[in-house]
Structures are given as C-alpha cells and as structure tokens.
Amino acid sequence: MFTRSNLTDAKRLVVKIGTSTLTHETGKMNFFRIEKLVRELSDLANQGKEIILVTSGAVSAGMERLGIKERPRTIPEKQAVAAIGQGILMHTYEKLFGEYGQIVAQVLLTREDSVKRTRYTNSRNTLLTLLAMGVIPIINENDAVAIDELKIGDNDTLSAMVASIVDADILIILSDIEGVFTDNPQKNPNAQLIQEITDITPQIEALSDEPGTLRGTGGMYTKIQAGKIATNSGVTMIIASGARDGVLREILSGAKVGTIFISKENRLQIRKRWLAFGARIYGSVMVDQGCEQALLSEGSSLLAAGIIQVDGEFGQGKTISIVTPLGREIARGLVNYNAKEIRRIMGKHTNEIAAILGSKPYDEVIHRDNMALLV
C-alpha cells in the first residue's frame, strides 16, 4: 500500500492529464506546459518507472484546427472533431517524447473494452506487453467511434479503469484544481484543501462540484468516482494541479501536494475487479443493516432475506450494485435472479423461495464468489 511516505518506490504509474492542463484559456494548446510534463514523464521513465499516460484534449485540438470556439454538443459533432484532434494530439506527443528518446504507442479504448470480459483481458495483455517493451502507452477514449451509451464518460474514469487493469501502483490525475476541498474554492475563499482521504464516504462525495472549465468534461465528482475504482483496486490516487511546476517530481518525493486517496490494502482479484468496475451496472438492491454487516464482516453471500428494495429492471446474470439505506454502495455482483423475481422474494427466507417462484435454482441472490466488496 502506497502512502506519501513511500511514493518514491512506486514502479508503475498511470498519469492522467486533463484538457484544462493541456490548453490555454483561449482553448489553444499550451505547448510550454505539455513539453514540461513530457520532460518529467520521460525522466521518470529513465529512472526505470513504467509510465502510462491517459490524455484528454483530442476534442480541443480538433476545435482549434477547425476554428471552433464552443465545444460540440452532439455526439456526431464531437466524434468528428475528436477524429481530427486525435491525430494532432498524438503527433504532438510523439514529437516531444521522441526528443527525449522515448517510444510511445497510441491506444484508444471504449466502454466495450472494459464491459466485455475478453476485451478487458486483451486490453490488459496489450498494455502490459507495451510496458515490458519499454514503450509509453498514450491512452484516450475512442471518441471517434464510441456512441453515448458505450462511452466510459470521461477520462478520469478511464484513467482509473486503466490503473485497475494494469495493477498500477499509483494513479496521478492532473487537473486545474489542487485537489479536493472542504468547499468550492472558486466560490468560498475559506475552503481548505483535504490532503488525505482514506475512505470515500457519502460526505466526501457530497463535496464534488460541476466541471471547472468549458473545455473539460469531468468535474470533481468524476475524480472522486475514479478514486473509488482506484482505491478498491489497490491503487493509490493523487489529484493535483497540472499547472504546478515539477508536480510529478514533488508528488513522488512525498511532498504534501494535492489530495491523496489511500488504497485498500488488498487488491481485488482480476475477475472480481472486472465485476466491480469493468461490467456495466444494470440496477441495484438495497439491504438492511444486518445484511450489510454479514456481507462486510463475515464475507457472506447476498440472501433474499436481507433485501429491502430493488431498483431497475435487470435480467439474471447481470451485474448490479448493493447499497445501504443511506445510499452508500458497498458491493457489486452477478445476480442469480432477475429484478421481478427478487422483488417477489426480497425479505423472505431461502426455504420460502421455491413456494413463491415455483422453483429455487439458487439459495443466494448473489454468491460471494461472484461479488466484489467496495468498502
């Protein structure tokens, strides 16, 4: 487990650079800042660290080339602009990294690459092979082909998914803000930076706000959700300002820069990690306090008796969330019954299921082997 005291020992790093870090307020590319970040990343690679760069900026680069000032609103427009910008962005990175002797590879991912088990595994194998070759993978969401319902949604989530897939030691998200604050610092000058978060509670999630710039898509909410994915996958995450000179060097030296999210000690197994973060979520069930304790403290399977509410319409074998009455998500897993069936048997003992449904193919609504705990 990585904390500030041993970040210097981190071997495999995923670094996400947001649009606001890559561009000026005019929306045009900030080559001076990009070059400095590339130099830092190249120096880390020279130290023997494995680097994966997750980058935003394709749409902004395309907007600049086309002379568009407002971000496209429709999916087809965004796809077209991204198709133009991805080539420009990759050419910029390839040229700058090449000046420091680094080889890079472009990898475009969509939600399908994490939802489908085989593609999840293939993505992992490809990225690990590139790292073994000494190559720096540069990853972006494939905006040019993704459709709305398949989109991962933002590069904060994408970076956390990548960090989870490759068993990264740390994830560094560089943004236009120093980290997580007690309030919105743009509105409240007395807001204080939270230097360390060990548990992402509903109170922490409530601190999130809207995106800070017109050029970016992800606000603090998406970063905190990324923190959930990372920390539950055994990856420590840091949010810091990309405008800070030498920010990566400072972070890895253990300096109190930004907000650090401390990872859970035990990494989820690859299969359970996919269940928790790769699979699409189709609905949720709410459980009572006794069931919550049984799941978290005793490692029990989810039984119908502990369920008090079902949300959504989902089929057997789909991945759903398990939440508490306070709205906290505590686990995800594959259900043995569909939503209609669970509504009929919720609150009932296992020996009553056959009489209610006419048969009892499973004792458990979700077996513990098909469940990933998130707290």
Please write the tens of the pLDDT for every residue from 146-188: 544 434 457 888 899 899 889 899 999 999 889 999 888 878 8
- Annotate 330-359 with DSSP letters as a single string: EEEEE-SS-HHHHHHHTT--GGGHHHHHS-
Please write the tens of the pLDDT for every residue from 196-252: 999 888 888 888 755 444 334 447 888 998 998 899 888 999 999 999 999 999 999
pLDDT band at 254 (very low <50, low <70, confident <90, very high): very high
> What value does the mean pLDDT take over residues 37-63?
94
254 in Cβ contact with 5 (< 8 Å) = yes
pLDDT band at 116 (very low <50, low <70, confident <90, very high): low
Task: Judge whether residue 135 has pLDDT over 90.
Answer: yes
Distance CA 221, CA 51 (A): 25
Distance CA 107, CA 130 (A): 10
Q: Which residue has the higher pLDDT, 116 or 197?
A: 197
254 in Cβ contact with 222 (< 8 Å) = no
79 in Cβ contact with 145 (< 8 Å) = yes
pLDDT at site 174: 95
Domain 4-271 - what CATH class?
A: alpha beta
Helix (H, G, I), strand (E, B) or coil at 242: coil
The pTM is what?
0.77
Which pairs count as long-range contacts for 92-101, CB under 8 Å and 24+ apart, including other chains? 92/29, 92/31, 92/34, 92/61, 93/34, 93/38, 93/53, 93/55, 93/138, 96/34, 96/35, 96/38, 97/38, 97/41, 97/42, 97/136, 100/38, 100/39, 100/42, 100/43, 101/42
CATH superfamily of 280-373: PUA domain (2.30.130.10)
pLDDT at site 95: 96
Please write the tens of the pLDDT for every residue from 302-327: 999 999 999 999 999 889 999 999 98
33 in Cβ contact with 59 (< 8 Å) = no
Residues in CB range of 297: below 8 A, 6 or more apart: none
Distance CA 22, CA 28 (A): 9
Q: Where are the domains of the chain?
A: 4-271, 280-373
Other C-beta atoms closer than 10 Å to the C-beta of 303 total 21
